[in-house]
Amino acid sequence: MSNYKKYKDGFVNYAHRGASEYLPENTLLAFYTGVYMKANGIETDVRRAKDGTLVLFHDNTLERVTGDPRSVEECTLAELMELDVKKDGYTDKIAVFEDFLQKFAFRDLTFAIELKGEGVEKDTADLLRKYGLEKKAVITSFKLDYIKNFIAYASEFEFGLLTKEVTPEIEAELLSLGATEICPRATLMSAEDVARWHSMGLRVRAWGVKDEEVMKFACECSVDGMTCNFPDKLEAYRS
């Protein structure tokens, strides 16, 4: 019999880097707005600044959202705080991971934490433990080594793999590691795929939801959640 189980509240509408369709991504402004739009999950990305501080930032460089060509890893926190993250005339600051946890960990949310930078696993786990998120956070990455490092240190957390293509080898490795989630690109899966992953005991969280048509398709495939830049539209579609 399958050990597949849904989240306690069912489907998870993850505000992807916050409500990033409308506001500067991975900022407190975007996260608060995602919650206001009734997202019941937040997805974000953890990197380490030059001085060791963990911050929430997606790209390899700061350029796309701040105009600065450097990377997070090349800057101290003080240098990062001099920059503005911009989107459609709105600005906010890069979020410090612990500041984010102080403001959101107590809320009734599921957290998808993507490990982006090398060597952040231990400190990420320690902060998640500090704020009691062992049962509310799912650890993910595109890099399986990061996940392995994390669970070797903090095996109590649930985890899954972000992947562009799901192969039988990937499925087998995830099952051997005890993963609870698989995260395929929304446009490269089918309802049959989702049913098969469910039969393996895996939850399915889709990513790459670029527009409402992809959003609807993913819902029709019976995924357990998705990262969505426009959580208000997903909430409206499912209500």
> Which amino acid, 129?
R
54 CB-contact burial (10 Å; exposed 0-12 / middle 13-18 / buried 19+): buried
| Higher per-residue pLDDT: 113 or 1 | 113
Going by pLDDT thresholds of 50, 70 and 90, the confidence category of residue 3 is very low
> Which amino acid, 127?
L
**Tens digits of residue pLDDT in 59-77:** 999 999 999 999 999 999 9
**Tens digits of residue pLDDT in 129-152:** 999 999 999 999 999 999 999 999
Interval 51-60 mean pLDDT: 98
pLDDT at 86: 97
Interval 1-16 mean pLDDT: 63
CATH placement of domain 12-238 = 3.20.20.190
The answer on pLDDT for 84 being more than 80 is yes
Going by pLDDT thresholds of 50, 70 and 90, the confidence category of residue 118 is confident
pLDDT at 198: 96
**Extents of the domains making up the chain:** 12-238
The answer on pLDDT for 207 being more than 90 is yes
Rounded-to-5 percentages of helix, strand, coil across the chain: 35, 25, 40
Q: Give the span between the Cα atoms of 98 and 96, in whole angstroms.
A: 6
The answer on pLDDT for 7 being more than 70 is no
For β-strands 85-87 and 41-48, DSSP reports them as unpaired
Interval 110-116 mean pLDDT: 98
Q: At a CB cut-off of 8 Å and minimum separation 6, what does 12 contact?
A: 40, 41, 110, 205, 224, 225
Q: Which whole-number Å values give the CA distances from 102 to 44, 181, 237, in the listed order?
A: 15, 26, 31
